[in-house]
Structures are given as C-alpha cells and as structure tokens.
Amino acid sequence: MEKIFKIMIVEDSKLYQKYLTDLMIKNHYEYICAFNGLEAIGLLRENKPDLILLDVHLPGCSGYDVCKHVRNTPDTYHIPIIFITSNNDQNDIVTGFQLGGNDYVTKPFNETILESRITNQLDHVYNRKLLNSYIQELESINTKLKEEKEHSEYLASRDHLTGLYNRRFIQSTLKELLLDHQLDQTSISLALFDIDDFKLVNDQYGHPCGDYTLNEVVTLIQSKIRDYDYLSRWGGEEFLLVLPHTTKESALPIMERILNTVDAHTFTYDKYSFKLTLTCGLSDFKPNEKYISILNRIDEALYEGKHTGKNRIII
Ligand code: GH3
Ligand code: MG
Ligand code: MG
Ligand code: MG
Ligand code: MG
C-alpha cells in the first residue's frame, strides 16, 4: 500500500499557514487548507484527510468545536487531530485531549519535533489502513470460498444431463423426510417412473436424440408436479418422484396426469417425430417403515407394470 497522506490544515494566521504548508511540501504530503472552523467543516464533507492540524483560536467556530464535529460525525470520527495553538494553559491542553485530540503542540513550535509528531500519527493511520485492507481481502476470500462451496455442493447434488437431483442427494433427502414423517405422522408418497422402450429411441434416432428426449420427459413431468415435490434422476431413464404430505390415493391423479401428458406428447428431434410412454410404480410409507422396503415395493410395482403392458401406474 502506498504511503500517500492528505493533511488538512486549519489555521487563520497567514504566517503559520505558510510555515505549515512549507512543511507539507517538504515532506511530500498532500494538503488542504481552511482559514476558519466553518470552512474546515464544509471541506470535510468532500475531503477525508488522514490527519487534521487544528488551530484552537479561529474566527467564528473554534478549533474545539471543529474537533467535536469531527468526533461526532461517522465519516470522520477516526481522523487523528493535532492541536497547534499558542494556548499553553494546562486546562486548555487537558480540554483538547478530553475532546478527542490526539496530540497538542504549542506555538511557536519546533519544526523537527512537529514533523515527528505528524509522522507518529500517520504511522497509526497507515497501520489502520493496512489492517482494513487485510480484513477486506480476508472477507472477499471468505465470500469466494463460500460461493465455491455452495457451487460444489450444488453440483454434487445434481445430475449432469437433466439438472435434476441425483440419486445420492435424493436418498439422503428421503432419509431426512422420513424422520420428519415419523415425527408428524404425515404421508409421503414415492413414484418411480421408467420410460417405456427407451432403448429404441437411442437405437433408431441416435444417442443425442436420447439425451434430448430425457430432458423433454423431465420438462413434461415437472409441469405436472408441485413446487415442494422432489424429482430426481434415479438411473438412466428412471425418475424417482418424492411427494411429501401426500397419500398414494391423492398422488394417483397426479401420476395419471403425468402419464397422460407424456402419452399425448409428440417428441420431435431433427427430422424425427415419435411417441413415448411411461410406466410408474407408486406407493406411500407405512408407519415406521424403512425406506428400503418402500423402494422395493415401487420397484416391484414398476416391474409388474412393465410385464402387464406398460404405460400404466401400479399401486
Ligand atoms: P423398458 O420398457 O423395459 O424399460 O425398455 P427400455 O428400452 O426403456 O429399457 P432398457 O433398460 O432395455 O434400456 C434403457 C436404455 O436407456 C438403455 C440406455 O442406453 C438408455 N439410457 C440410459 N441413460 C441414458 C442417457 O443418459 N442418455 C441416453 N441417450 N440414453 C440413456
Ligand atoms: Mg488562530
Ligand atoms: Mg429402466
Ligand atoms: Mg425403460
Ligand atoms: Mg428394453
């Protein structure tokens, strides 16, 4: 970080203005000058100096008033102040510190001593800036790490082709839902869909068409389910739908709508146009049932559907 400092000089005496500005130039400090307290307060609205050299006796509002204003303003409260004044009364000096002054120099001042007192204050300023920049850097690293973590968690929960939840994610979600279900005793239904004769799509129209069709089927299913249902890719052309707070009796019409929608749809890809159907195994959780046993049940239902003509729902 560059050591460039801007110093505000608040001084009504032309002579001392000259001494102080010469000192600024000699030490390569940027500076701004105010000749009275009100002008200083006005300039502080647009300029945020690193240090204020503040005379006490000023026309209108005093250096003490300026100091109070600086300390009571959120944007400026941290700016160090060195009082430079001909007041060397003990009480005045104490007042200067009580009001929040950082240092107190009496006129006539020794230039070298003033320089080292200025340097002393600016060292603090520099260290604080450095610390702030480290904190900012840490915060931005932290935000980036958090975003990366969220992104990788997202990727780990998804299926690449369809963007649906993947099998691993839905399995762990299902276990969590099941615990809630056992607590509040509401129903959860599970439906396993398998596209009928999907192999033919790949064989007849090619694998890219198969990929396209899988996504198309997903869109059709998604159009018929609710926001709080979980659709996942269970395997190649199989999808597991989890319907929280739903009995199999109330899930059935939803499954019928899904099968009818797919049945009614004409898939088009390239020069090809074709029809597809789904078979579905549907069930809901029995009290205290392990999730593996309902999975077996819908798998068996699906198998039965495949062997009794496909394009149907077996409960
Ligand atoms: P069934 O009615 O008995 O379910 O017949 P099917 O042809 O759908 O079932 P089968 O298990 O014989 O074939 C499934 C096919 O799904 C074979 C496999 O290549 C295809 N498949 C699985 N995943 C993908 C994929 O990601 N993309 C494409 N294009 N095809 C896939
Ligand atoms: Mg004065
Ligand atoms: Mg299959
Ligand atoms: Mg199939
Ligand atoms: Mg087959």
Output the pLDDT for position 179: 84
User: How far apart are the CA of 249 and the centre of ligand 3, in A?
Assistant: 25
Instruction: List, as one string, the DSSP characters of 192-246.
Output: EEEETTHHHHHHHH-HHHHHHHHHHHHHHHHTTS-TT-EEEEEETTEEEEEEET-
Output the pLDDT for position 290: 86
Among all chains, which residue has been given the structure tokens 């996942």? 232
User: How far apart are the CA of 236 and the centre of ligand 1, in A?
Assistant: 6
Would you say the ipTM is above 0.85? yes
166 alpha carbon, distance to own chain's centre: 25
Residue 178 has pLDDT above 90, yes or no: no
Output the pLDDT for position 180: 80
The minimum-distance atom of ligand 1 relative to the CA of 213 is 29
Ligand in closest contact with the CA of 306: 1
Q: Calculate mean pLDDT across residues 22-49.
A: 97
Output the pLDDT for position 82: 98
Q: Which of 153, 237, 256, 289 is catalytic?
A: 237
Output the pLDDT for position 3: 85
Mind listing the pLDDT tens digit for each residue in 71-102?
A: 999 999 999 999 999 999 999 999 999 999 99
Q: H/E element holding 273?
A: strand 272-274
Mind listing the pLDDT tens digit for each residue in 266-295?
A: 999 999 999 999 999 999 998 888 889 999
Output the pLDDT for position 185: 76
- Residue 68 and residue 72: Cα distance in Å, rounded? 6
Quick check: is 150 catalytic? Answer: no
Question: Which residue among 164, 202, 212 is best mutated to probe the pocket of ligand 1, counting the most ligand atoms within 8 A of its Cβ?
Answer: 202
Nearest to 189 by CA among 118, 255, 109: 255
Q: Higher model confidence: residue 178 or residue 102?
A: 102
- Pull the structure tokens for residue 1: 């970080």
Ion ligand 5 residues within 5 Å by Cβ: 199
Residue 183 has pLDDT above 80, yes or no: no
- Residue 303 and residue 294: Cα distance in Å, rounded? 14
Output the pLDDT for position 249: 97
